Amino acid sequence: MTELSHLIELEPAFHDLDPMDVVWHGNYVKYLEIARCALLERFDYNYPQMRDSGYAWPIVDMRLKYVQPVHFGQKVTIESSIVEWENRLKIDYLIRDAASGRKINKAYTVQVAVDMASQEMLYVCPPVLWEKLGVPAP
């Protein structure tokens, strides 16, 4: 795990299951959101801080690759890692079975900065992101 990563553990709730008794595929998006918020919280730049800094960060791209299903009562870990931050905020995710470490799902999300005052998308991330992440500006 890198300095720009964070690991959480979760156990799916019964209401997350589909009729096949596995986690419904759409709920993985919710799990990514939980992991992303935990990661951003590490840098004191979660959604309230983003808003307060004058920027919205909508997700403009997302990809999930399902390898194995998650079952009720199965604990999983989700590692989220910031892999790009210059022109967009790209976060990679790896979901594993908590007990065995077996890979269950890979994903990524891409967010872009939007100036809330002008509603214009920025083509370079604002300096506040680099400051919060503790990385040098380009």
- Domains of the chain with CATH codes: 5-133 (3.10.129.10)
120 membership: H or E segment, kind and range: none
Q: How many helices (H) and strands (E) does the chain have?
A: 3, 7
Q: What pLDDT does 137 receive?
A: 79
Give the C-alpha separation, 26 to 121, whole Å: 27
Sheet holding 76-84, edge to edge: 5-10, 76-84, 89-97, 103-111, 59-66
Q: What is the pLDDT of residues 7-32, one digit of tens each?
A: 999 999 999 999 999 999 999 999 99
Q: What pLDDT does 136 receive?
A: 86
Q: What pLDDT does 92 receive?
A: 98
Find where tokens 């594993």 sit.
96
Q: What pLDDT does 104 receive?
A: 96
Q: What is the pLDDT of residues 29-88, one digit of tens each?
A: 999 999 999 999 999 999 999 999 999 999 999 999 999 999 999 999 999 999 999 999
